[in-house]
Amino acid sequence: MTQVSMTVNGGAVVADVEPRTLLADFLRGEMQLTGTHLGCEQGVCGACTVVLDGRIQRSCITFAADCDGADVTTIEGFDDDPTMEELREAFSEHHALQCGFCTPGMLTTARDIVLRLGDIDERALREELSGNLCRCTGYVGIVAAIKKVATGRSPTSRPRWHRSSSGSRAQGCRLRRLRRQVPPSRGRRLQPWQLQSVDPRAARQSRNGCR
């Protein structure tokens, strides 16, 4: 067991975790913060998105033990956040949710986009959302809702790392990836001419030799 100390939704948490425990499982099981959903469990669908030291992160591919000293915010931690309140109202107005499974992660990503980029054009917005999948409504309502909140806003600066009261960079959060990393396409569909043919023998040699 490994002891970790982190801040979750503004409260201090100290717990013993198995080295292989994922942050998503820790939040859902130990903290009972079930708004963090588990979908693909490979870091692709975005349902498990949380804010980790000021940046959105897939909690299903992040070890809880690597988050010692971190500041974690889940969807439950945004109850009194004015930007999130605007987004919730806009999502409802534009019918941007149906089953709701993707919505916590989608809202978390949307808040990051609005605060980080401000008044963003639709093409760039869709690119930013490419790591969050919705299989019910499509993306028209989601894009419209985020555009409504983002319109007229200026981007806000934010630190790369959470700063403690002493001003030192928070410890931990070496964000290791499990199974595989999100590919550069981030969920975008590749066209046939964008795919490269690979010699299977060369691929096997590369994997075996780690060259």
What value does the mean pLDDT take over residues 81-92?
A: 97
- With CA atoms as reference, report the closest residue to 77 among 50, 37, 106: 50
| Segment 20-46, tens digit of pLDDT | 999 999 999 999 999 999 999 999 999
Contact call for residues 129 and 139 (beta carbons, < 8 A) = yes
Q: What's the whole-model pTM score?
A: 0.74
Lowest mean pLDDT of 114-118, 144-148, 204-208, name the range.
204-208
What angle in degrees, to the nearest 10, is found between the helix axes of 103-117 and 140-150? 40
CATH node for 2-77: 3.10.20.30
Pick the more confident residue, 140 or 171.
Answer: 140
CATH architecture label of 78-150? Orthogonal Bundle (1.10)
What pLDDT was estimated at residue 199? 42
- 3-state secondary structure at position 77: helix
Domain extent listing, the chain: 2-77, 78-150
